[in-house]
Chains A and B, each alone.
Chain A
Amino acid sequence: MTSMNTAFASVRALAEAVRARVAHVTDDVEVRVERADQVAYVIEGRALIPELECDAWRVAMRARKGGRLAIAATTGSSVDDAAGALLRSLSAAQPDALEDFAALHETPPDGRGWDDAAAAMIDRPAQVRALAASMADAARAAAPGASLVLEGGLKVGRTWRAMATARGATVLSASTVGSAFLMVDGNEWDSLAGTAAPTEHGVRALGRELIVELPPREVTVAEWLGGPKEVTVLIDPRLLEALLRALFLERVGLDRVVSGLSNAAVGDVVGAPIFSLFDDTGAAASLAGAVIDHEGIIGQRKTVVERGVLRTLLADRRSAKVAWGGASTGNGFRLPMMAEDASEAPVRVGMGHLDVPAGNTPRLKLVPGRTVVLTDLLGVHSANKATGAFNNPVQGGVALEDGVPVARLKAGAWSATGNFHTMLRALSGVSAERLHTGTASLPWVAAPVRLS
């Protein structure tokens, strides 16, 4: 087993060696090193497939020279490869508004995202396997005789990080991840995720409840609603998170405002008075609660929306400098798109842990009469980021009669259409219950959506 001290020493050594190698030819440098291990078991039907990852390294680097910014990335633990790539990138450095990198302060290694039990499980793959098998068994036992097709998996991982810039200390942090995911018949799914190790009780409940809570009957739009129509639906926290990250970020990211792609301004009414939103990059036990963002800014909790009114735009160092001449909100992340590796992605404004306060009404009493709860939409990533409009097939949902689940939404037979920004302003209810998705703490909300 890799000891904590050994692992921290290895990532620190690589970050500082790269910094030293380029210091004499740059004005400033930023090196972010990650070293990760992972054990996962993938459920494919009846099969349980092991996937192990040992010592995966990622090195993300930026350097400034003469007002220009150079960027490079490598995987692997080679100082020569990393420093060589960054040195070579200096000749391609581009003019950039980013004037400097963060000055990092000496702090003890931060282990707020670390769970000893999760880390230890990585060295006990049999235990991880048993948990994955238990989750699938619990699901099958909940529907004896049924031929369920299960997909999913269970994963534990640990990551050590070091970040160094030309000024200040090298900041060390470590975190773990434990997650489980289960999908039945390619449609309905549930998951749990966080920094802690999955438990036997937790994964069995996940498998069992996913099946038990699904009514056997299936309905189409015509059967349930009499045909296409706009109705007030319940949005599951998992779908709410997906829409916030895919569409609301396009409105409240300061880099989008700087680019002219969003005209949002503090004081705008962006939601109903019952809706508030916090972005907490320092949240404990969250996979999105980074101790520091990817530019070295210490995590903090920000009020993004207060009772429907936009209070803060989210910024990275560049957009904060350009728009405010001031400090970042700590939302600079290397968010990969498509075939990018995280280390090679540009720093963009992203969201941390999302937190929407609960309301007072139990979720199943939010919408009387006939409605549906939408768990997921197929292809949210293809929604219109410019306008907030979406128009996607439903993947996972249940028909409700006065809050009682009575039927599943027939797979492939439902589509949902709406505009997320309009929906937020038209929210009619926020549930008293919240779900921790691993990266957000969100309630169920009631909002108008056209179903067809």
Chain B
Amino acid sequence: MLNSDDAPVPRNDAAVRSALTAALRHARTRVPYADAVYERVFKCEVHQLASGQRMVKPASVKGSVQIRLVGEGGRQVGIKAGDADVDTLCAAIDRGLDALAAEPDDPGFGLAAIPNPSRERYGVAPKDDPRDVDPTPRLEALARAVDALAAAGSTDDVRVVPELWAWEQVEEKWVADTDGVFKTQVMTIGFVQVVFRAVRGEQQARTRVRFGEVGGLAQYIDAAGALSPKVAHELAVERDVAVRLLDARPMTADELAGITHYVLHKSALVFIHEGLGHPIEADIVRSGNSAIVGPSGVALVSPLGSSVVRIVDGAAPDGDGTPVADRGFGTEFIDDEGVEVRAAELVAGGHIVGMMHSRETAHRFGVAPTGNGFSELGDRRIVRMRNTVLCPERGDHWVDSLGELLEGIGLGVVLHGSLGGAVSKEGMSSSTQYGYLVRDGELTGEIIAPGNFTALTAGCLKTIEAYAGPVDCHGVGFCGKGSQMRRVTEGGPTFVRLGASAWVNLTFEG
């Protein structure tokens, strides 16, 4: 993160500041406190559908304001306004006052103080800013590169059909309140998703690969149209897996009954987000919808996991698990309440040790905010994850290679990838894209068909035994909590070994 003096200033900053200041001044004459966040996103993107239809959108612009009015007695209301001009904002505030009048007192409501209130600027300046430099050549080059990869993987029998969705967006954010806080952030985010469909007659199989990181698409494809070696390699691997999946089989009932271990590749760790992250979000805890933390904040399950389990949410870590401030698809420098993002240690030594907080939940639980208060373009700010990662302490349980990790496994499966997950109070479900069978400590080379991995929140972490490889936030995705989309990642060491138990289950399509 750059120093405040070096951080970029959003465009039209003076006009936006003026509008927010005037609107908050209007609000302050009617309520004791108000704050606002305005987010504006400039996005360029390419879609290529399975039909071959390609759509390049070099310029889309979206933005919205969220204003929070806090009245006497802890009454509060949030209003979304479409435009950041004074008239629109003041009209929205006036409408919000009608709703505020209908609210009962809420003596427990409050907002934790914004740390470091005087610092104004955060972020990283865009390189090859797509607002100034036409992104079309790079977007088209990306599509051509993916087409070429697909063609190279096709055979006389099998056609590989690619789908591409990639974008780069410049996100600008302003946070201000009636106490004089004024903060801005500028971030560039790049995202690439490729689906390979292998088609043989009426048979189909598919794999999906995602990349997402702070910074533009230049990190994935250079100006000459060459994919980065890492991206090209991973795409080629997943393309070939899609073809192999045409001949994959599900595990048999006997194999499932006899399985002793699951080994999850870093691409299949969505259960960390769905099953363990959500129940430690303080707003879910407070509502009574967490199966592992009671509404008062006291852990209902202790220990939650085995002694080697440590989970952290924050900026993405390096391979050793140390957070790096400007890395990770879910990373920001300040949240949408102006709180500087800091790492929140959620589980350590298998015990729940912390929660993720907005200003509101931090006040209710009497702790410092963690910078987890986010909204989607003008929606209400709620507690959201950023990069949620298994970051174990060093020890004998963390080995270097998959081969070492597989030692002692009688019958197991290494599971890769997910097309998404979902969470309920008790547990979670995520698809798996493919797997490899393990017998007597060795990979057999047999490829296993897509399945569904389920984990019960209260016990699944107890089955984690060991890890292999460096930590990586590989699971790039979008969380839809409260119908608000937010970019996030989940991750951990390259492989995570779980013992079979009643807490976890793998099933296959009929």
Question: Which one of A45, A149, A391 lies within 8 Å of B507 (CB-CB)?
Answer: A391
- Contact at B62–A88, with CB atoms within 8 Å? no
Please report the C-alpha to C-alpha distance between residue A251 and residue B232 in the assembled complex, in whole angstroms: 32
A44-B283, A391-B510, A419-B510 given; A92·B81 CB < 8 A: no
With A75-B63, A417-B507 as contacts: A88 and B80 at CB distance below 8 Å = no
Cβ contacts under 8 Å, A88 to chain B:
58-59
- A50-58, A274-282, A296-304 - the one binding chain B: A50-58
CA distance A349 to B126 in the complex (A): 36
Asked whether, in the complex, the Cβ of B59 is within 8 Å of the Cβ of A72, the reply is: yes
- Give B478 Cβ to nearest chain A Cβ, in Å: 5
Which residues of chain A (393-430) have a CB below 8 Å from chain B? 393, 395, 411-412, 415, 417-419
Shortest Cβ distance from B102 into A: residue: A126
In the bound complex, CA of A393 to CA of B95 (Å)? 42
Q: A411 is contacted by which of B134, B206, B426, B451 (Cβ under 8 Å)? A: B426
Asked whether, in the complex, the Cβ of A45 is within 8 Å of the Cβ of B54, the reply is no
Q: Is A69 among interface residues, defined by CB-CB distance under 8 A? A: yes
- Tell me, yes or no, whether B57 is within 8 Å of chain A by CB: yes
Q: Given that A261-B204, A382-B420, A391-B510 are known contacts, is A52 also in contact with B77, CB under 8 Å in the complex?
A: yes
Task: Verify A261–B50 contact, CB threshold 8 A.
Answer: yes
CB of B301 within 8 A of chain A?
no
Contacts A45-B295, A57-B82, A411-B426 given; indicate if A89 touches B57 (C-beta within 8 A).
Answer: yes
Stretch from B25-33, B286-294, B463-471 forming part of the interface with A? B286-294
Q: How far is the CA of A47 from the CA of B295 in the complex (A)?
A: 12
CA distance A84 to B449 in the complex (A): 48
Q: Which residue of A lies closest to B135 (CB)?
A: A92
Given A52-B96, A392-B452, A72 and B57 touching (CB < 8 A)?
yes
Chain B residue at smallest Cβ distance from A379: B422
Given contacts A125-B102, A261-B204, A384-B509, contact A54 B92 (CB under 8 A): yes
| A44→B482 CA distance, assembly (Å) | 11
Given that A77-B83, A395-B424 are contacting pairs, would A51 and B431 also be in contact in the complex, using a CB cutoff of 8 Å?
Answer: no
Give Cα A249 to B428, complex, Å.
26
The count of residues in chain A whose C-beta lies closer than 8 Å to any C-beta of chain B is 81
Contacting pair A259 B49 (CB below 8 A): yes
B88 near A382 with CB under 8 A, answer: no
Most chain A CB inside 10 Å of its own CB: which residue of B51, B64, B77, B204: B51
A54–B61 touching, CB < 8 Å: no
Which residues of B, 191-218, contact A by the 8 Å Cβ criterion?
A: 197, 199, 202, 204-206
Given contacts A45-B295, A94-B54, A415-B452, contact A341 B510 (CB under 8 A): no
Determine if B55 is an interface residue (Cβ-Cβ < 8 Å): yes
Residues on B with C-beta less than 8 A from A126 are: 98-99, 101-102
* Nearest residue, chain B, Cβ from A2: B91
Residues of chain B within 8 A of A50, CB atoms compared: 77-78, 99, 102-103
In the assembled complex, the Cα of A318 lies from the Cα of B54 at a distance in Å of: 13
- Min CB distance B355 to A, Å, is 15
Which of A78, A85, A149, A187 touches B59 (beta carbons < 8 Å)? A85
Q: Is the CB of B92 within 8 A of A260?
A: no
Q: Would A55 and B55 be within 8 Å (CB), given that A125-B102, A382-B430, A391-B507 are in contact?
A: no
Q: Pick the residue among B98, B102, B509 that contacts A391 (CB under 8 A).
A: B509
Q: Provide the residues of chain B in CB contact with A346, threshold 8 Å.
A: 47, 49, 55
Query: A91 and B136 in contact (CB under 8 A), knowing A339-B487, A386-B205, A412-B427?
Result: yes
- Contact, CB under 8 Å: B509 / A149: no
The reply to whether B202 and A263 contact each other, CB–CB distance below 8 Å, is: yes
| Across-interface contacts of A42 in B (CB, < 8 A) | 380, 482
Encode A174-190 as 1/0 by CB contact (under 8 A) with B.
00000000000111000
Q: Tell me if A390 counts as interface (CB < 8 A to partner B).
A: yes
B102 touches A390 (CB 8 A): no
Chain B residues in 8 Å Cβ range of A344: 43, 45, 57, 60, 62
Chain A contacts for B295, CB-based, 8 A: 45
B59, B99, B161: the one contacting A260 at CB < 8 Å is B161
**Chain A residues whose CB sits within 8 angstroms of the CB of B140 once the complex forms:** 92
A54 and B430 contacting across the interface, CB-CB below 8 Å = no
- B window 266-315: CB within 8 A of A: 283, 286-289, 295
B contact residues around A165 at 8 Å (CB): none
**A370 touches B (CB below 8 Å):** no
Q: Tell yes or no: B439 within 8 A of A by CB.
A: no
Complex interface: chain B residues within 8 A of A384 (CB): 450, 509
Give the docked Cα–Cα distance between A147 and B96 (Å).
Answer: 32
Most chain A beta carbons < 10 A, residue from B53, B91, B426: B53
Q: Which residues of B contact A77 (CB under 8 A)?
A: 82-83
List B457-510 residues whose CB lies under 8 Å from chain A: 478, 482, 485, 487, 505, 507-510
A54 to B451, CA, bound (A): 43
Given A339-B478, A393-B429, the answer on whether A129 and B204 have CB atoms closer than 8 Å is no
Contact, CB under 8 Å: A391 / B456? no
Q: Flag whether A134 is at the interface (Cβ < 8 A).
A: no
| A263, B81: Cα distance in complex, Å | 46
Q: A384 to chain B: closest CB distance in Å?
A: 6
**In whole Å, how far is B41's beta carbon from the nearest beta carbon of chain A?**
9
User: A378 near B: Cβ within 8 Å?
Assistant: yes
Q: Is A389 an interface residue (CB 8 A)?
A: yes
A307 at the interface (CB under 8 A from B): no
Q: Which residue of A lies closest to B431 (CB)?
A: A382
A146: interface (CB < 8 Å): no
Question: A412 near B456 (CB under 8 angstroms)?
Answer: yes
> Which of chain B's residues has its CB closest to A86's CB?
B59
A255 at the interface (CB under 8 A from B): yes
Which residues of chain B are within 8 angstroms of A72 by Cβ–Cβ distance? 57, 59-60
In contact, A75 and B64 (Cβ under 8 angstroms): yes
A residues near B421, Cβ cutoff 8 Å: 379, 382
Residue of B nearest to A55 (CB): B82
Inter-chain contact B102/A129, CB cutoff 8 Å? yes
Distance between Cα atoms of A149 and B300 in the complex (Å) = 16
Chain A min CB distance to B507 (Å): 5
**Known: A125-B102, A393-B427. Contact between A381 and B62, CB under 8 A?**
no
Question: Quick one: which of A91-113 are within 8 Å of B by CB?
Answer: 91-94, 96-97
A310 lies within 8 A of chain B by Cβ = no
Q: A71-B57, A344-B62 are in contact. Are A55 and B509 (CB under 8 A)?
A: no
Which residues on B sit within 8 Å (CB–CB) of A75?
Answer: 61-64, 82, 377
A379-B478 Cα distance, complex, nearest whole Å:
14
A306 surroundings in chain B (CB, below 8 A) = none
Complex CA gap A393/B423 in Å reads 10
**Is residue B399 contacting chain A, with contact meaning CB distance below 8 A?**
no
Residues on the B chain within 8 Å of A452, using CB: 507
Q: Shortest Cβ distance from B163 into chain A, in angstroms? A: 9
CA–CA, A71 and B204, complex, Å? 31
Shortest C-beta distance, B150 to chain A (Å), equals 13
Q: Are A55 and B83 in contact (CB under 8 A)?
A: yes
**Is A382 in contact with B95, judged by CB distance below 8 angstroms?**
no
> Measured between C-beta atoms, what is the minimum distance from A258 to chain B in Å?
6
Assess whether A125 is in contact with B57, with CB atoms less than 8 Å apart.
no
Contacts from A to B (Cβ < 8 Å): 35, 39, 42, 44-45, 47, 49-57, 69, 71-78, 81, 84-85, 88-89, 91-94, 96-97, 123-126, 129, 147, 149, 151, 185-187, 255-256, 258-261, 263, 318, 338-339, 341, 343-344, 346, 378-379, 381-382, 384, 386-387, 389-393, 395, 411-412, 415, 417-419, 450, 452
Sorted nearest first, the 5 A-B pairs with minimum C-beta distance are A186-B425, A412-B426, A379-B422, A126-B102, A45-B287
A55-B82, A55-B83 given; 12 more Cβ-contact pairs under 8 Å: A50-B99, A52-B77, A52-B78, A74-B62, A92-B58, A125-B102, A126-B101, A261-B197, A378-B424, A390-B509, A395-B424, A412-B456
Interchain residue pairs with CB less than 8 A apart (23): A45-B286, A50-B103, A52-B79, A54-B79, A54-B88, A72-B57, A75-B82, A147-B288, A258-B51, A260-B50, A260-B159, A338-B478, A341-B377, A378-B423, A386-B197, A386-B205, A389-B510, A391-B509, A393-B429, A412-B426, A415-B507, A417-B508, A417-B510
